[in-house]
Structure 1
């Protein structure tokens, strides 16, 4: 099963870091946050990734093209036009990097990579959030629910949109950022059937608006409730909190 990661946003709320880097390359413990996300999926056995690039796409592409050069010891044979890499990398990832446009919305980015997922169920998440969600259990739940999309629902910290979830674990309503309302929110870590891409009109479609709202109205959006660790990296404060957790040696999302 392929994993699609949304990595094209400008990260304006993290402007202190994203003036120089795309948000997915902002580091936690000397590794980009996108690396941490990919390690979470790889630990569950998913090692084929499709990265939806946009803002500073060339930097994300360069990171993966030069992955071994930056992370492993090398011997350069200048006369032979050859480079030897030393060590035994644990990452066995296949990474497809697609430039999905600078101003494209989240739904539009997913729509653009449709040819790369084909007719297969795929995972989808944001390139700026980590969690200790059980990916295997999430996928099993999705298959059992037999809905077009499953979203990982996490308790609201009070600054995100709300999911109304019924007794069948089905989302009956999806609504963004209400005032003074608490509940379950969209935590990313989706599992998606390819038919759900038909709910996306084009580049200007936000995945979190019309597609998810319509899926909820049609009882086609399931919710996998996760009450463990989950944290996005929206602000510099978030980045510092994640950095402190990583440096403590007790990062809750480290499952590898």
Structure 2
């Protein structure tokens, strides 16, 4: 892609997608970034991702799930175990410590489907963080559904993550790609 001349190159099989890149500003938080894309959305469902996750999520199944739930927003949920030791602390003193506990929870996997009504939960300020007040309000209003993904998912937001994914690629261990038939 060469954005200076508006040139895009697509390799491989193409899908019927419409992708719009919007410069929302360097210091704009997640909720504000979504809000600033409003004029490009129209009245259809739309998808959002942070761009720092790698997964084999079936986007068609995610959209289908969203439509069956009839909510304003759907987030992809990922089952994740704690990778760190945990401390219980009381008044500055450790009361217990467990190394790499088996605590498991569902985390925000960073792949979303929204209805245009999501804009009612967002503010115009650059400081609107989607994962705070808007997501809490959607939850309170029972308008946030969770598409549980049990396949491959990883964050790529550190240099260490990039090295790990590059190593997987070089070894042919590309779990995020569809299985070849």
Alpha-carbon RMSD across the aligned residues, in angstroms, is 2.6
Higher RCO (CA-CA < 8 Å; seq separation 6+) = 2
Aligned runs of 1:70-81 on 2, under 5 Å? none
In the alignment, the residues of structure 1 paired with residue 12 and residue 61 of structure 2 have an alpha-carbon distance, to the nearest angstrom, of 27
Q: Which of 114, 123, 127 is the equivalent residue of 2:51?
A: 127
In the alignment, the residues of structure 2 paired with residue 89 and residue 67 of structure 1 have an alpha-carbon distance, to the nearest angstrom, of 13
The answer for the alignment partner of 2:31 in structure 1 is 107
The answer for the alignment partner of 1:212 in structure 2 is 135
Q: Give structure 2 stretches of 5+ with no counterpart.
A: 84-100
TM-score (norm: length of structure 2): 0.78
The answer for the alignment partner of 1:151 in structure 2 is 75
The answer for the alignment partner of 1:195 in structure 2 is 117
Aligned runs of 1:30-179 on 2, under 5 Å? 61-62=3-4, 65-68=6-9, 90-91=13-14, 94-158=18-82
Q: Does 1:228 align with 2:151?
A: yes
Count residues in correspondence. 159
TM-score (norm: length of structure 1): 0.56
Q: Secondary structure at the match of 1:206?
A: coil
Change (3 A) 1:110 1:90: same
Q: Give structure 1 stretches of 5+ with no counterpart.
A: 1-34, 36-59, 72-87, 160-179
Larger % of helix: which? 1
